């Protein structure tokens, strides 16, 4: 067996670039010099602020940095940068997955989309709601303080969603299964009702800023636009197995790229994204030595920890055990966090 460490790479989604990440790319921009230059030129041509400008801005501006048309590509660039930092002599990437928008980054890093095409998809999908965001997302915990998932809470939320959808003009759906959290997507009336109906727990329910109702039927129009806008020909078989938001594995030799295109712009856009299942499949079907969460940030780490707990993976059975292991010999390497430099 290879002596390299087997890793599954995880690409983060929207919301991972926060004010702490400003200057993320400034650490060693030369590592991705051509790539970054290309991105900046494309954005300049589109009349958007360049990634370099955004990343090197003096201040983090919510109205600028978190907007879909900027955040998506900014995160893509940071993840690309982290991926480039992985030493192939030391690490063997056996699969790549991602959360939500991270799926597009996974497609890029896995070789299913070229540089430019990946930018088009990421920027395109991030910009389709440039003028009017469709609905929004709310995040809500379903685990206790020890990270034990309480499935009855998930069932109760299901009933709440059912009730909301029975009201005229209200729509609310499961958007993402995210370890110990559920992300719910809804239209305006649905969001208001959700915020009222979900029992308050710490600072939850919490509405995510500048997020649309991703992965719900409310995105049907966006999906249709995407199919019109992007050609199936830009999708290729990946060079590394990709694990999608259902836990399906797309393998290099057996992937049919038209199906990957259909999934990415269809199912993935309008149906729930099951990040929990994607990570579970990564663990069980690839047996990695490490999970590697690419930056920016590391906010997905908690959800990943909760998924490890749910699977009792490597005897990690609660939050404190996860934290203890992370401090000693981390199974999850979070490249966006300072304590995990590679």
Sign of the CA dihedral running 184, 285, 251, 6: positive
Q: Quote the least distance from Cβ 139 to other proteins, whole Å.
A: 22
Task: List the interface residues with other proteins, window 230-289 (CB under 8 A).
Answer: 237, 244, 246-248, 251, 253-256, 274, 277, 280-281, 283-289
Task: List the interface residues with other proteins, window 71-110 (CB under 8 A).
Answer: 94
CA-to-CA distance for 26 and 46, rounded, in angstroms?
23
Q: Quote the least distance from Cβ 78 to other proteins, whole Å.
A: 28
CA-to-CA distance for 58 and 241, rounded, in angstroms?
39
Question: 136-141 and 206-207: which strand pairing?
Answer: antiparallel
Is there binding between residue 57 and other proteins (CB under 8 A)?
no
Q: Quote the least distance from Cβ 249 to other proteins, whole Å.
A: 8
The smaller minimum CB distance to other proteins, of residues 171 and 244, is found at 244
Task: List the interface residues with other proteins, window 170-189 (CB under 8 A).
Answer: none
Q: Of the candidates 279, 296, 335, 336, which has an alpha carbon nearest to the alpha carbon of residue 105?
A: 296
The smaller minimum CB distance to other proteins, of residues 24 and 273, is found at 273
Task: List the interface residues with other proteins, window 310-339 (CB under 8 A).
Answer: 313-315
Tokens coding 298: 């590391």
| Cα angle 70-93-114, degrees, rounded to a multiple of 5 | 45
Cis peptide, bond prior to residue 296, ω within 30 of zero: yes
Is there binding between residue 33 and other proteins (CB under 8 A)?
no
CA-to-CA distance for 96 and 242, rounded, in angstroms?
5
Encoded one letter per residue, x for contact with other proteins by CB under 8 A and - for no contact, window 291-310 reads --------------------
Interface with other proteins (CB under 8 A): 1-2, 6, 94, 237, 244, 246-248, 251, 253-256, 274, 277, 280-281, 283-289, 313-315
């Amino acid at each position: 067996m290879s002596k390299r460490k087997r890793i599954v790479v995880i690409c983060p989604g929207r919301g991972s670039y926060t004010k702490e990440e400003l200057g993320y790319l400034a650490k060693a921009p030369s590592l991705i010099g051509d790539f970054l230059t290309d991105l900046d030129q494309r954005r300049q041509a589109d009349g958007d602020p360049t990634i370099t400008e955004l990343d090197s801005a003096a201040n983090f501006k919510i109205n600028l940095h978190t907007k879909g048309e900027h955040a998506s590509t900014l995160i893509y660039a940071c993840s690309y940068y982290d991926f480039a930092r992985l030493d192939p002599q030391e690490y063997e990437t056996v699969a790549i997955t991602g959360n939500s928008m991270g799926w597009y980054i996974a497609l890029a890093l896995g070789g299913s989309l070229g540089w430019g095409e990946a930018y088009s998809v990421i920027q395109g999908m991030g910009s389709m709601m440039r003028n009017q965001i469709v609905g929004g997302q709310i995040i809500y915990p379903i685990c206790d303080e020890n990270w034990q998932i309480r499935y009855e809470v998930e069932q109760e939320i299901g009933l709440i969603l059912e009730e909301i959808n029975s009201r005229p003009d209200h729509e609310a759906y499961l958007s993402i299964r995210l370890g110990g959290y559920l992300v719910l997507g809804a239209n305006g009336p649905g969001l208001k009702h959700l915020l009222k109906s979900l029992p308050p727990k710490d600072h939850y329910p919490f509405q995510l800023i500048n997020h649309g109702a991703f992965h719900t039927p409310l995105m049907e129009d966006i999906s249709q636009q995407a199919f019109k806008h992007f050609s199936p020909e830009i999708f290729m078989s990946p060079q590394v197995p990709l694990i999608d938001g259902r836990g399906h594995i797309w393998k290099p030799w057996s992937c049919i790229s038209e199906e990957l295109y259909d999934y990415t712009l269809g199912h993935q856009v309008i149906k729930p994204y099951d990040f929990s299942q994607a990570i579970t499949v990564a663990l069980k079907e690839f047996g990695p030595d490490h999970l590697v969460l690419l930056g920016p940030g590391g906010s997905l780490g908690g959800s990943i920890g909760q998924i490890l707990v749910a699977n009792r993976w490597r005897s990690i059975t609660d939050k404190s055990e996860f934290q203890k292991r992370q401090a000693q010999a981390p199974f999850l390497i979070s490249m966006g966090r300072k304590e995990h430099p590679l």
